[in-house]
Amino acid sequence: MQTPQLKQAIEALLFVAEQPLTETQLFEHFSEESISRKQLKEVLSELQSDYQERGVQLTLVASGYRFQTRAELGGIISRLWQEKPPRYSQALLETLALIAYRQPITRGDIEEIRGVSVSSNIMKTLQERGWIKVVGHREVPGRPQLYATTNEFLDYFSLQDLSELPAIPEAPEKVSPKGAAVQTTAETATNTE
């Protein structure tokens, strides 16, 4: 198969696929045409370049390659649907963030960090969305479930892996009324020894 035909075929496959496709899936799809992995990678790179300045982009996410609309066009595109996109509560987003940054984590750990109990509806919603899953049990009495994020979570937020999550900013130093920085108890104990 010549490169222009291969490029058209890959483009068409990615447009009609319901889920992102990995390089391996694409390579296996063209096994009868005897293309090389190098040729496949070159075509994918060309397609990404071709769509760089268009309304849709070829993007690599955790589950593979997919076409998606440009993020900055979201407001214009959203007018196409009468429904409002789901709005998530601050509690749900905090819970999701804790799972993403501290996984695997138990519900008890989340409650301890947040200082409030986690609603069963929040955990149910996150699992129904496919954003989190149970990955095991902590070996303590009661064997609480350990939660972690899924590839669907990464795909939804257009991430390839968790290392692409934004860094958590450092907490600002507390300042006393006179303007001097206040040391924490641990720092004070260390400095006086």
Instruction: Write down the pTM of the prediction.
Output: 0.60
Predicted local distance difference test score (pLDDT) of residue 83: 67
Question: Which distant-in-sequence residues (6+ apart) come within 8 Å of 86 by Cβ?
Answer: none
Sign of the dihedral defined by the CA atoms of residues 117, 121, 127, 129, in that order: negative
Question: Is it true that domain 90-164 has CATH number 1.10.10.10?
Answer: yes
Predicted local distance difference test score (pLDDT) of residue 133: 95
CB of 152 closer than 8 Å to CB of 130: yes
In CATH, what class is 3-71?
A: mainly alpha
Burial of 170 (0-12, 13-18, 19+ CB in 10 A): exposed
Cα 95 → chain centroid = 14
Where along the chain do its domains lie?
A: 3-71, 90-164
Q: What tens-digit pLDDT sequence spans the chain (193 residues)?
A: 788 898 999 999 999 999 999 999 999 988 888 888 999 999 999 999 999 889 999 999 999 999 999 889 888 887 787 666 678 899 999 999 999 999 999 999 999 999 999 999 999 999 999 999 999 999 999 899 999 999 999 999 889 999 999 888 876 766 555 555 544 444 444 444 4
Give 66's strand partners: 59
Predicted local distance difference test score (pLDDT) of residue 178: 56
Predicted local distance difference test score (pLDDT) of residue 85: 65
Q: Do 90-164 and 3-71 fall under one CATH topology?
A: yes
DSSP string computed for 19-75: S-B-HHHHHHHTGGGT--HHHHHHHHHHHHHHTTTSSEEEEEETTEEEEEE-GGGHH
